[in-house]
Amino acid sequence: MREISGKTQVVAVALVTALCMIGDSMLYVVLPLFWKEAGLTSLWEVGVLLAVNRFIRVPLGPLVGKWYERSGGRTGLIVAVVLAFLTTLSYSLEGFWLWLVMRCLWGVAWTFLRLGAFSLIVGVSKGHNRGQLMGLYNGLYRLGSLGGMLVGALLASWYGLSVASIALAVPSLLAFILIFRYIRPSFTSQHPTDVKQMDTGKRLWSQTQVLLTLMTGLLVTMVYQGVFTSTLSRVIEVREPLIMMGGVVLGAAVIASVIQGIRWGWEPWAAPLVGKLSDRYGRTKLFIGTLLVASVLFASLQATSSLVLWFAILFGIQSTATIITTVMDTLAADEAARHANSHAVMTQYSVTSDLGAALGPLLAFWLDEHVGLSLVYIGIAMILLLVGLVWLWRPKLVKMESAS
């Protein structure tokens, strides 16, 4: 069998992920606006459907992690592709309970995709290129988000949700070609690593650095993948439901998909660049600085009356999302590489991140009905500021743990 480079495998697993997540990404801009066409009766059901796939990933994470510890990784990716195709196709049907089951199955698919990718990256990377490879993965798989949100919003607006779902299910089948041609059957590490002693899940949580990494992953994904992604179309609809561009009237769904799509468009080159910079100049300073900038941007979003400045702030938030997500994932991979059982660390990180991403839509839509999105975004600013300050004090916290 010919040797396949680590970078080639990372590119392949990223593109597999992209092809599989097209249908899921479509829902975040389409479902909050076309929920009646899906047979739903309230926005609360939208929040449940956008969150349940993430909740199901929480108990599944350790099980899938064990799968990757004990068996080859390729089989897990095959399972993910099959489920991605079936679930995206099912979005053409109506009914809350059917959608609930399908969203749970998509949660299974994403767990196999995400943990498979993490396992592969930790296995083929070293300290000097881990950020670049993580950024490469994060950037390329977002092409699926770009296609899902942009094309999905257009198809749903023109032809309806059913046609959009059927059309976006087909590309996931192309992932089989990438899996069998470019990904090795096993994701086990190809490099000796500087590791600590074997750690159980309980011991991992007792270590300050690991605990900080896990809790930060939870909060970051709750903010960006949960609240911001799921509410962007609602935020735009409240502020500017229709915009005239070149004689064409654009609705909130299309505007949100364009804003999200521009981010997914720049991430294939921006995320690897961010990862490379973090490899060269250090991850922590970049991470803390971006968290503080993001806090200011979220707090400023509701304070400006200028539409141009408002959109500029939205794009600024998207820029911080690229940086924070890439660096956070790499920090987790760094921590995993320092432990003998790297699968356990990445599994715990994936589980806590999934929990944060799951809580985000539920909290966002519940708070939207009770206090409004303005206060939700002020709360986000406070959370990011707090996380940045904790990471600023991190050396003291780790030193205190060592002293005790």
Q: What percent of the chain has pLDDT over 90?
A: 33
Going along the chain from its start, the domains and CATH numbers come out as 6-182+198-403 (1.20.1250.20)
The predicted pLDDT at position 234 comes to 81
DSSP string, 294-311: HHHHHHHTTT---HHHHH
Residue 345, classed as helix, strand or coil, is helix
Buried-exposed string 211-239: b where 16+ CB fall within 10 A, e elsewhere: bbbbebbbbbbbbbbbbbbbbbbbbbbeb
Nearest to 214, CA basis, from 345, 313, 37, 367: 345
- Residue 187 in this model has a pLDDT that exceeds 70: no
At 282 the pLDDT is 86
Q: Is the pLDDT of residue 225 over 90?
A: no
Q: What angle do CA 347, 264, 166 make, to 5 degrees?
A: 85
Predicted confidence (pLDDT) at residue 319 exceeds the cutoff of 80:
yes
371-399 pLDDT per residue, tens = 888 888 999 999 999 999 999 887 665 55
Tell me what percent of the residues of the chain surpass a pLDDT of 70.
88
pLDDT at position 191:
47
pLDDT, tens only, 101-114: 999 999 999 999 98
pLDDT of residue 396: 65
| pLDDT tens figures, 161-186 | 889 899 999 999 999 999 988 888 77
Question: pLDDT class for 18, splitting at 50, 70, 90?
Answer: very high
Q: What is the pLDDT of residue 194?
A: 45
Tokens of 86: 């079936």
* Of 4, 70, 101, nearest in space to 347 by CA: 70
Q: What share of the chain is helix, strand, coil (3-state, %, to 5)?
A: 80, 0, 15
pLDDT higher than 90, residue 39: no
Per-residue pLDDT tens digits for 54-92: 788 888 888 888 888 777 678 889 999 999 999 999 998
Q: Is the pLDDT of residue 148 over 90?
A: no
pLDDT at 204: 55
Mean pLDDT on 221-230: 88
- C-alpha closest to that of 56 among 344, 355, 292, 271: 355
328 Cβ neighbours under 8 A, 6+ residues apart: 216, 217, 220, 287
Tens digit of each residue's pLDDT (9 = 90 or more) over 232-290: 878 888 777 666 656 556 677 778 777 877 887 888 889 999 999 998 888 899 999 99
Q: Which two tokens stand for residue 286?
A: 């970049």
pLDDT at 199 over 60: no
Whether pLDDT at 223 is above 90:
yes
How far is the C-alpha of 91 from the C-alpha of 109, rounded, in Å?
A: 15
At 397 the pLDDT is 58
If you average pLDDT over residues 119-127, what whole number do you get? 81
Question: Is 50 exceeded by the pLDDT of residue 198?
Answer: no
d(CA 131, CA 326): 8
Residues 6+ apart with CB under 8 A from 230: 28, 32, 47, 50, 360, 361, 364, 365
Q: pLDDT at residue 221 above 80?
A: yes
User: Across all residues in the chain, what is the average pLDDT?
Assistant: 83
Residue 304's pLDDT band (cuts 50, 70, 90): confident
Instruction: Give residue 193's pLDDT.
Output: 46
- Closest C-alpha among 351, 284, 325 to residue 135: 325
pLDDT at 1: 47
